[in-house]
Amino acid sequence: MGSRDSRRILGPDRSVAYSLLQPPHLQPFLSPARTRTDGRTPTDTRKHFFSVGLISQAKGSAYVEIGNTKVICGVYGPRDVQRGLDFRMACQVVCEVKVVPFASPIRRPPGRESRETEMSQQLKDALESVIILDKFPKSEICVYVTVVEDGGGVLGACVTAAGLAVAHANIDMYDLLVGASVLHHNKVLYADPSRHEEEHITLAPRDPNQTTDEWGQVTVGMMPMYAGGQVALMALTGQMDAASVVDAMDMAVDICRRLYNLAKKTLLEHVEQTLQADREASAE
């Protein structure tokens, strides 16, 4: 039995905030001033913060913060394939996406969920089209992504974090991989949706007889400078017509191009800081 502090009044081991037990209050996406709940316009993205080199034990690592969404990624390898695994001349990519139990307002139960398995496979498919696999025969590259906080647009943040970590690991790629999400609701596109907006489209009541109700979310992972803009990942949830999907992809591609400049700047600053630290160390 664990020790208890008799000098303090301890609450129950399992407790839930009363606000989470109340029925969800679905606020409108746009205010009369045509702004979202966080003050952004439909085409504005949240604030971004990128950093690399946080995990010292990994060959490459990256931290991505988009609004309240926080993702960290570690890359290990290339290393020899373990015995007993399928032998391949091309490099094998192993991806695992893990969402911590405290990432959402309601604590997740232990164990692996289907969403994590799906995102792991999507990220694996994207990285296999980005990494030059023929340069690393008989080896494997392991990519581990941890979602510290789910504030919306998790898949796009995982793609960007993985692309930065692979680049930081000095693994040959065709181009830097970045990702972005766009939400479609009531014939309006919303760039970089938050968790509130994602929950709104899933919890909002719908008329089963209404066949024209369109809603959904598009996530794009791309290499902006390779072959004029090569798309490595495209994930769609919900129901949208072809024209809306094309418009959402165009907006996501535009966001990816802007994120690409920020990601490239982050990597260049890290290289400059590393070279400066090496010069200072050699001068001593």
Q: Provide CB contacts within 8 A for 258, sequence distance 6+.
A: 45
According to the model, what pLDDT value does residue 204 have? 56
For 43-71, the pLDDT digits (tens) are 999 999 999 999 999 999 999 999 999 99
According to the model, what pLDDT value does residue 93 have? 94
According to the model, what pLDDT value does residue 137 have? 86
Domain extents in the chain: 41-283
Tell me which fold the domain 41-283 belongs to: Ribosomal Protein S5; domain 2 (3.30.230)
Per-residue pLDDT for 268 more than 90? yes
Give the global pTM.
Answer: 0.87
Average pLDDT taken over every residue of the chain: 86
Mean pLDDT of 258-273: 95
98-102 contacts, C-beta under 8 A, 24 or more apart:
98/144, 98/145, 98/146, 98/147, 99/146, 99/147, 99/150, 99/154, 100/146, 100/147, 100/148
Per-residue pLDDT for 233 more than 60? yes
Lowest-confidence pick of 74-88, 96-110, 155-169, 226-240: 74-88
In which residue are the tokens 């943040």 written?
157
Over its C-alpha atoms, the chain yields an Rg (Å, rounded) of 21
For 175-191, the pLDDT digits (tens) are 999 999 999 988 889 99
Angstrom distance (rounded) from CA 188 to CA 248:
10
Per-residue pLDDT for 192 more than 60? yes
